[in-house]
Structure 1
Amino acid sequence: MGGGRGSPHDVIAQLMASAMAGDQRAWNKLVERFSSLLWSICRSYGLAPADAADAFQLTWLRLLEHLETIQEPARLAGWLATTCRRECMAILRRGRRVLLSSDDALFDRASGAAPGPDRATLVNDRDAELWLAFGRLSERCQRLLRVLVLEAEDGAPSYDMAAAVLEMPKGSLGPTRGRCLEQLRKYLDDGGISASGT
Protein backbone atom coordinates (compact mmCIF):
# COMPACT_ATOMS: atom_id res chain seq x y z
CA MET A 1 0.00 0.00 0.00
CA GLY A 2 2.97 2.33 0.34
CA GLY A 3 3.41 5.19 2.75
CA GLY A 4 0.86 7.55 1.24
CA ARG A 5 3.33 8.92 -1.33
CA GLY A 6 2.18 10.38 -4.62
CA SER A 7 -0.64 12.71 -5.52
CA PRO A 8 -4.07 12.27 -3.90
CA HIS A 9 -5.33 10.81 -7.18
CA ASP A 10 -2.47 8.29 -7.20
CA VAL A 11 -3.29 7.30 -3.63
CA ILE A 12 -6.98 6.85 -4.53
CA ALA A 13 -6.05 4.79 -7.59
CA GLN A 14 -3.85 2.57 -5.43
CA LEU A 15 -6.57 2.17 -2.81
CA MET A 16 -9.13 1.28 -5.47
CA ALA A 17 -6.81 -1.29 -7.06
CA SER A 18 -6.09 -2.85 -3.68
CA ALA A 19 -9.79 -2.86 -2.72
CA MET A 20 -10.65 -4.60 -6.00
CA ALA A 21 -8.04 -7.22 -5.13
CA GLY A 22 -9.86 -7.86 -1.84
CA ASP A 23 -7.76 -5.72 0.52
CA GLN A 24 -10.15 -4.83 3.36
CA ARG A 25 -7.75 -2.20 4.74
CA ALA A 26 -7.78 -0.39 1.39
CA TRP A 27 -11.58 -0.46 1.31
CA ASN A 28 -11.70 0.90 4.87
CA LYS A 29 -9.38 3.74 3.88
CA LEU A 30 -11.63 4.65 0.95
CA VAL A 31 -14.62 4.70 3.28
CA GLU A 32 -12.71 6.82 5.80
CA ARG A 33 -11.57 9.23 3.10
CA PHE A 34 -15.00 9.98 1.63
CA SER A 35 -17.42 9.38 4.50
CA SER A 36 -17.63 13.02 5.59
CA LEU A 37 -18.56 14.06 2.04
CA LEU A 38 -21.32 11.46 1.83
CA TRP A 39 -22.72 12.24 5.29
CA SER A 40 -22.84 15.94 4.39
CA ILE A 41 -24.86 15.11 1.27
CA CYS A 42 -27.23 12.87 3.25
CA ARG A 43 -27.75 15.65 5.82
CA SER A 44 -28.34 18.20 3.07
CA TYR A 45 -31.47 16.32 1.99
CA GLY A 46 -32.96 16.53 5.48
CA LEU A 47 -33.35 12.77 5.75
CA ALA A 48 -34.29 11.11 9.02
CA PRO A 49 -31.23 9.51 10.64
CA ALA A 50 -32.25 5.99 9.61
CA ASP A 51 -32.88 7.10 6.01
CA ALA A 52 -29.58 9.00 5.92
CA ALA A 53 -27.80 5.85 7.12
CA ASP A 54 -29.56 3.84 4.39
CA ALA A 55 -28.49 6.29 1.68
CA PHE A 56 -24.94 6.28 3.03
CA GLN A 57 -24.74 2.47 3.10
CA LEU A 58 -26.39 2.10 -0.31
CA THR A 59 -23.85 4.48 -1.82
CA TRP A 60 -21.00 2.30 -0.60
CA LEU A 61 -22.83 -0.78 -1.85
CA ARG A 62 -23.12 0.82 -5.30
CA LEU A 63 -19.39 1.53 -5.26
CA LEU A 64 -18.67 -2.07 -4.32
CA GLU A 65 -20.84 -3.19 -7.26
CA HIS A 66 -19.19 -0.78 -9.72
CA LEU A 67 -15.65 -0.46 -8.42
CA GLU A 68 -14.16 -2.23 -11.42
CA THR A 69 -16.01 -0.01 -13.91
CA ILE A 70 -14.65 3.32 -12.61
CA GLN A 71 -11.85 4.11 -15.03
CA GLU A 72 -10.70 7.45 -13.58
CA PRO A 73 -9.85 7.38 -9.88
CA ALA A 74 -9.64 11.18 -9.93
CA ARG A 75 -13.40 11.23 -10.47
CA LEU A 76 -14.25 8.88 -7.61
CA ALA A 77 -15.35 11.70 -5.28
CA GLY A 78 -17.73 13.03 -7.93
CA TRP A 79 -19.05 9.53 -8.67
CA LEU A 80 -19.72 8.91 -4.99
CA ALA A 81 -21.38 12.31 -4.56
CA THR A 82 -23.66 11.77 -7.56
CA THR A 83 -24.55 8.25 -6.44
CA CYS A 84 -25.30 9.44 -2.91
CA ARG A 85 -27.58 12.20 -4.21
CA ARG A 86 -29.46 9.64 -6.31
CA GLU A 87 -29.94 7.37 -3.31
CA CYS A 88 -31.18 10.31 -1.20
CA MET A 89 -33.61 11.37 -3.93
CA ALA A 90 -34.89 7.79 -4.26
CA ILE A 91 -35.62 7.70 -0.53
CA LEU A 92 -37.36 11.08 -0.71
CA ARG A 93 -39.45 9.96 -3.71
CA ARG A 94 -40.56 6.84 -1.84
CA GLY A 95 -41.56 9.02 1.11
CA ARG A 96 -43.50 11.44 -1.10
CA ARG A 97 -45.41 8.60 -2.75
CA VAL A 98 -46.55 7.43 0.67
CA LEU A 99 -47.56 10.97 1.63
CA LEU A 100 -49.44 11.62 -1.61
CA SER A 101 -51.34 8.35 -1.37
CA SER A 102 -52.63 9.10 2.16
CA ASP A 103 -56.21 10.27 2.42
CA ASP A 104 -57.18 13.49 4.21
CA ALA A 105 -58.99 11.59 6.99
CA LEU A 106 -55.63 10.39 8.28
CA PHE A 107 -54.47 13.98 8.65
CA ASP A 108 -57.75 14.93 10.36
CA ARG A 109 -57.37 12.12 12.88
CA ALA A 110 -53.74 13.01 13.50
CA SER A 111 -54.61 16.65 14.13
CA GLY A 112 -56.50 15.73 17.29
CA ALA A 113 -53.63 13.64 18.66
CA ALA A 114 -50.59 15.82 18.02
CA PRO A 115 -50.00 19.48 18.83
CA GLY A 116 -49.79 21.85 15.88
CA PRO A 117 -50.02 19.41 12.94
CA ASP A 118 -50.59 22.31 10.56
CA ARG A 119 -47.11 23.52 11.45
CA ALA A 120 -45.58 20.30 10.16
CA THR A 121 -47.65 20.53 6.98
CA LEU A 122 -46.58 24.12 6.42
CA VAL A 123 -42.94 23.23 6.97
CA ASN A 124 -43.26 20.30 4.57
CA ASP A 125 -44.88 22.56 1.96
CA ARG A 126 -42.18 25.16 2.41
CA ASP A 127 -39.45 22.52 2.12
CA ALA A 128 -41.05 21.12 -1.01
CA GLU A 129 -41.07 24.61 -2.55
CA LEU A 130 -37.46 25.09 -1.54
CA TRP A 131 -36.43 21.87 -3.28
CA LEU A 132 -38.45 22.81 -6.36
CA ALA A 133 -36.59 26.12 -6.50
CA PHE A 134 -33.32 24.30 -5.87
CA GLY A 135 -34.12 21.98 -8.78
CA ARG A 136 -34.41 24.99 -11.11
CA LEU A 137 -30.78 25.90 -10.50
CA SER A 138 -28.12 24.79 -12.94
CA GLU A 139 -26.50 21.44 -12.22
CA ARG A 140 -23.30 23.30 -11.41
CA CYS A 141 -25.03 25.45 -8.78
CA GLN A 142 -26.83 22.46 -7.28
CA ARG A 143 -23.57 20.54 -6.89
CA LEU A 144 -21.72 23.52 -5.47
CA LEU A 145 -24.40 24.40 -2.92
CA ARG A 146 -24.71 20.80 -1.75
CA VAL A 147 -20.98 20.49 -1.19
CA LEU A 148 -20.31 23.97 0.23
CA VAL A 149 -23.39 25.42 1.88
CA LEU A 150 -25.04 22.29 3.17
CA GLU A 151 -21.81 20.74 4.41
CA ALA A 152 -21.15 23.81 6.58
CA GLU A 153 -23.46 22.36 9.23
CA ASP A 154 -20.43 21.05 11.13
CA GLY A 155 -18.51 24.29 10.73
CA ALA A 156 -16.59 25.81 7.89
CA PRO A 157 -16.91 23.81 4.68
CA SER A 158 -13.80 22.20 3.22
CA TYR A 159 -12.87 24.31 0.20
CA ASP A 160 -10.08 21.89 -0.67
CA MET A 161 -12.49 18.97 -0.85
CA ALA A 162 -15.08 21.06 -2.68
CA ALA A 163 -12.52 22.19 -5.26
CA ALA A 164 -11.55 18.57 -5.89
CA VAL A 165 -15.12 17.27 -6.05
CA LEU A 166 -16.39 20.11 -8.23
CA GLU A 167 -13.22 20.37 -10.32
CA MET A 168 -13.17 24.14 -9.85
CA PRO A 169 -10.41 26.55 -8.80
CA LYS A 170 -10.61 27.09 -5.05
CA GLY A 171 -10.69 30.88 -5.45
CA SER A 172 -13.83 30.79 -7.57
CA LEU A 173 -15.92 28.78 -5.11
CA GLY A 174 -16.99 31.67 -2.87
CA PRO A 175 -18.11 34.06 -5.65
CA THR A 176 -19.88 31.26 -7.51
CA ARG A 177 -21.64 30.19 -4.31
CA GLY A 178 -22.86 33.77 -3.82
CA ARG A 179 -24.29 33.91 -7.34
CA CYS A 180 -25.99 30.53 -6.91
CA LEU A 181 -27.55 31.57 -3.59
CA GLU A 182 -28.77 34.81 -5.14
CA GLN A 183 -30.41 32.86 -7.96
CA LEU A 184 -32.03 30.50 -5.46
CA ARG A 185 -33.31 33.50 -3.48
CA LYS A 186 -34.85 34.91 -6.67
CA TYR A 187 -36.63 31.63 -7.43
CA LEU A 188 -37.95 31.51 -3.86
CA ASP A 189 -39.19 35.10 -4.10
CA ASP A 190 -40.89 34.29 -7.42
CA GLY A 191 -42.63 31.38 -5.68
CA GLY A 192 -43.77 33.54 -2.78
CA ILE A 193 -41.25 32.17 -0.28
CA SER A 194 -38.82 34.85 0.81
CA ALA A 195 -35.85 34.43 3.09
CA SER A 196 -37.79 36.24 5.80
CA GLY A 197 -40.72 33.83 5.46
CA THR A 198 -38.73 30.68 6.13
Structure 2
Amino acid sequence: MPDVAELVLRARRGEQAAWDEIVERFAPLVWAVCRRYNLSAADTDDVNATVWLRLVERLNTLREAAALPGWIATTTRNECLHLLRDKKKQISVEDIDGPDERPELDAWLLMQERHIALRVAFRELSERCRQLLNLLFAEETVRYATISAQIGVPVGSIGPSRMRCLDTLRGNPALAAFEEES
Protein backbone atom coordinates (compact mmCIF):
# COMPACT_ATOMS: atom_id res chain seq x y z
CA MET A 1 0.00 0.00 0.00
CA PRO A 2 1.57 3.32 -1.05
CA ASP A 3 2.19 5.96 1.58
CA VAL A 4 0.33 9.27 1.53
CA ALA A 5 3.25 11.29 0.16
CA GLU A 6 3.62 8.90 -2.78
CA LEU A 7 -0.12 9.06 -3.50
CA VAL A 8 -0.04 12.86 -3.47
CA LEU A 9 2.90 12.93 -5.90
CA ARG A 10 1.15 10.50 -8.24
CA ALA A 11 -2.11 12.46 -8.04
CA ARG A 12 -0.22 15.66 -8.87
CA ARG A 13 0.95 13.91 -12.04
CA GLY A 14 -2.69 13.18 -12.86
CA GLU A 15 -2.79 9.45 -12.12
CA GLN A 16 -6.44 8.46 -11.68
CA ALA A 17 -5.52 5.38 -9.61
CA ALA A 18 -3.81 7.63 -7.05
CA TRP A 19 -6.88 9.85 -6.81
CA ASP A 20 -9.10 6.80 -6.39
CA GLU A 21 -6.87 5.50 -3.57
CA ILE A 22 -6.85 8.89 -1.81
CA VAL A 23 -10.65 9.11 -1.92
CA GLU A 24 -11.09 5.49 -0.84
CA ARG A 25 -8.62 5.85 2.03
CA PHE A 26 -9.87 9.18 3.40
CA ALA A 27 -13.62 9.21 2.62
CA PRO A 28 -14.32 7.66 6.07
CA LEU A 29 -12.48 10.60 7.66
CA VAL A 30 -14.66 13.09 5.76
CA TRP A 31 -17.79 11.20 6.81
CA ALA A 32 -16.70 11.05 10.47
CA VAL A 33 -16.08 14.80 10.62
CA CYS A 34 -19.44 15.52 8.95
CA ARG A 35 -21.15 13.24 11.47
CA ARG A 36 -19.78 15.37 14.32
CA TYR A 37 -21.87 18.24 12.97
CA ASN A 38 -25.02 16.12 12.63
CA LEU A 39 -25.41 16.93 8.94
CA SER A 40 -28.14 15.34 6.86
CA ALA A 41 -27.16 12.79 4.23
CA ALA A 42 -27.62 15.41 1.49
CA ASP A 43 -25.50 17.97 3.34
CA THR A 44 -22.83 15.34 4.01
CA ASP A 45 -22.76 14.56 0.28
CA ASP A 46 -22.39 18.28 -0.49
CA VAL A 47 -19.52 18.68 1.98
CA ASN A 48 -17.89 15.49 0.69
CA ALA A 49 -18.00 16.76 -2.91
CA THR A 50 -16.70 20.19 -1.86
CA VAL A 51 -13.77 18.72 0.10
CA TRP A 52 -12.62 16.65 -2.89
CA LEU A 53 -13.05 19.66 -5.19
CA ARG A 54 -10.92 21.76 -2.82
CA LEU A 55 -8.28 19.04 -2.85
CA VAL A 56 -8.21 19.02 -6.66
CA GLU A 57 -7.88 22.82 -6.63
CA ARG A 58 -5.18 22.94 -3.97
CA LEU A 59 -3.25 19.69 -4.24
CA ASN A 60 -0.28 21.43 -5.86
CA THR A 61 -0.11 23.97 -3.03
CA LEU A 62 0.09 21.36 -0.27
CA ARG A 63 3.50 21.97 1.34
CA GLU A 64 3.78 18.67 3.21
CA ALA A 65 2.28 15.76 1.28
CA ALA A 66 2.20 13.53 4.37
CA ALA A 67 -0.03 16.09 6.12
CA LEU A 68 -2.91 15.27 3.77
CA PRO A 69 -5.09 13.56 6.45
CA GLY A 70 -4.89 16.64 8.67
CA TRP A 71 -5.62 18.91 5.70
CA ILE A 72 -8.67 16.81 4.79
CA ALA A 73 -9.97 16.85 8.39
CA THR A 74 -9.48 20.62 8.70
CA THR A 75 -11.03 21.36 5.31
CA THR A 76 -14.00 19.14 6.12
CA ARG A 77 -14.54 20.93 9.45
CA ASN A 78 -14.37 24.31 7.70
CA GLU A 79 -16.85 23.22 5.02
CA CYS A 80 -19.26 21.85 7.67
CA LEU A 81 -19.14 25.14 9.55
CA HIS A 82 -19.57 27.10 6.31
CA LEU A 83 -22.61 25.01 5.40
CA LEU A 84 -24.15 25.45 8.86
CA ARG A 85 -23.57 29.23 8.72
CA ASP A 86 -25.25 29.41 5.32
CA LYS A 87 -28.22 27.40 6.58
CA LYS A 88 -28.52 29.67 9.59
CA LYS A 89 -28.83 32.66 7.26
CA GLN A 90 -31.59 30.93 5.29
CA ILE A 91 -33.91 29.78 8.08
CA SER A 92 -34.64 30.68 11.65
CA VAL A 93 -32.41 29.45 14.46
CA GLU A 94 -35.22 27.34 15.93
CA ASP A 95 -35.37 25.26 12.76
CA ILE A 96 -31.68 24.36 12.74
CA ASP A 97 -30.32 21.37 14.55
CA GLY A 98 -26.88 22.33 15.84
CA PRO A 99 -23.93 20.02 16.08
CA ASP A 100 -24.65 16.82 17.95
CA GLU A 101 -24.32 17.58 21.65
CA ARG A 102 -23.59 14.00 22.67
CA PRO A 103 -20.04 14.23 24.01
CA GLU A 104 -19.51 10.48 23.87
CA LEU A 105 -20.14 10.49 20.11
CA ASP A 106 -17.78 13.43 19.60
CA ALA A 107 -15.10 11.70 21.65
CA TRP A 108 -15.57 8.48 19.68
CA LEU A 109 -15.36 10.28 16.32
CA LEU A 110 -12.27 12.20 17.38
CA MET A 111 -10.70 8.92 18.47
CA GLN A 112 -11.52 7.43 15.03
CA GLU A 113 -9.89 10.40 13.28
CA ARG A 114 -6.80 9.97 15.45
CA HIS A 115 -6.66 6.24 14.69
CA ILE A 116 -6.79 6.93 10.95
CA ALA A 117 -4.00 9.51 11.24
CA LEU A 118 -1.96 7.14 13.42
CA ARG A 119 -2.33 4.29 10.91
CA VAL A 120 -1.20 6.63 8.12
CA ALA A 121 1.81 7.78 10.16
CA PHE A 122 2.66 4.21 11.21
CA ARG A 123 2.68 3.03 7.57
CA GLU A 124 5.26 5.72 6.82
CA LEU A 125 7.74 4.46 9.43
CA SER A 126 10.67 2.35 8.29
CA GLU A 127 10.07 -1.40 8.18
CA ARG A 128 12.44 -1.86 11.13
CA CYS A 129 10.51 0.65 13.29
CA ARG A 130 7.17 -0.95 12.37
CA GLN A 131 8.48 -4.39 13.32
CA LEU A 132 9.99 -3.14 16.58
CA LEU A 133 6.87 -1.25 17.68
CA ASN A 134 4.57 -4.12 16.69
CA LEU A 135 6.59 -6.50 18.85
CA LEU A 136 6.89 -4.09 21.78
CA PHE A 137 3.20 -3.22 21.85
CA ALA A 138 1.79 -6.65 21.02
CA GLU A 139 -1.07 -8.08 23.07
CA GLU A 140 1.28 -10.54 24.72
CA THR A 141 4.55 -9.37 26.22
CA VAL A 142 7.55 -10.25 24.08
CA ARG A 143 10.95 -10.52 25.78
CA TYR A 144 13.74 -8.24 24.59
CA ALA A 145 15.87 -11.30 23.80
CA THR A 146 13.17 -12.54 21.42
CA ILE A 147 12.85 -9.12 19.79
CA SER A 148 16.63 -8.95 19.45
CA ALA A 149 16.71 -12.31 17.68
CA GLN A 150 13.77 -11.50 15.41
CA ILE A 151 14.90 -8.13 14.11
CA GLY A 152 18.66 -8.37 14.62
CA VAL A 153 19.10 -5.53 17.11
CA PRO A 154 21.26 -5.86 20.24
CA VAL A 155 19.17 -6.07 23.42
CA GLY A 156 20.77 -2.85 24.72
CA SER A 157 19.68 -0.95 21.59
CA ILE A 158 15.99 -1.84 21.79
CA GLY A 159 15.04 0.92 24.26
CA PRO A 160 16.86 3.73 22.41
CA SER A 161 15.55 2.41 19.08
CA ARG A 162 12.02 2.40 20.47
CA MET A 163 12.40 6.04 21.54
CA ARG A 164 13.71 7.08 18.11
CA CYS A 165 10.84 5.26 16.38
CA LEU A 166 8.25 6.86 18.67
CA ASP A 167 9.82 10.30 18.16
CA THR A 168 9.62 9.79 14.39
CA LEU A 169 5.99 8.72 14.73
CA ARG A 170 5.12 11.73 16.91
CA GLY A 171 6.80 14.07 14.40
CA ASN A 172 4.75 12.81 11.46
CA PRO A 173 2.69 15.64 9.89
CA ALA A 174 -0.38 13.36 9.71
CA LEU A 175 -0.58 13.59 13.52
CA ALA A 176 0.15 17.34 13.78
CA ALA A 177 -3.51 18.41 13.78
CA PHE A 178 -4.23 16.14 16.72
CA GLU A 179 -1.31 17.37 18.81
CA GLU A 180 -2.80 20.88 18.70
CA GLU A 181 -6.15 19.57 20.01
CA SER A 182 -4.62 17.62 22.92
TM-score using structure 1 length: 0.53
1:92-137 CA deviation, whole Å, 9 max, x = no partner? 1111111239xxxxxxxxxxxxxxxxxxx5984xx47959xx9xxx
For 1:94 and 1:51, locate their aligned partners in 2 and report how far apart those are by CA, in whole Å: 12
Partner residue of 1:19 out of 11, 20, 40: 11
Change (3 A) 1:90 1:159: closer
Q: How does 1:106-145 map to 2 (within 5 A)?
A: 121=94, 124=97, 127=98, 130=101
For 2:13 and 2:26, locate their aligned partners in 1 and report how far apart those are by CA, in whole Å: 20
Verify: 1:41 aligned to 2:8, yes or no. Answer: no
User: Which amino acid counterpart does residue 43 of structure 2 have in structure 1?
Assistant: D
User: Which amino acid counterpart does residue 45 of structure 2 have in structure 1?
Assistant: A
Q: Give the structure, 1 or 2, with the largest relative contact order (CA under 8 Å, sep 6 or more).
A: 2
For 2:76 and 2:58, locate their aligned partners in 1 and report how far apart those are by CA, in whole Å: 14
Q: Secondary structure at the match of 1:66?
A: helix
Mapped contact 2:37–2:100 kept (Cα < 8 A): no
Equivalent in the alignment of 2:53: 61
Partner residue of 2:75 out of 71, 83, 88: 83
Q: Secondary structure at the match of 1:76?
A: helix
Equivalenced residues, count: 125
Q: CA RMSD in A?
A: 3.3
Return the offset for 1:161: 1.9
% identical aligned pairs: 36
Mapped contact 2:12–2:59 kept (Cα < 8 A): yes
Q: How does 1:161-176 map to 2 (within 5 A)?
A: 161-163=116-118, 165-167=174-176
Structure 2's unaligned 5+ residue stretches are 122-173
TM-score using structure 2 length: 0.57
Structure 1's unaligned 5+ residue stretches are 6-10, 102-120, 135-144, 177-198
User: Which amino acid counterpart does residue 161 of structure 1 have in structure 2?
Assistant: I
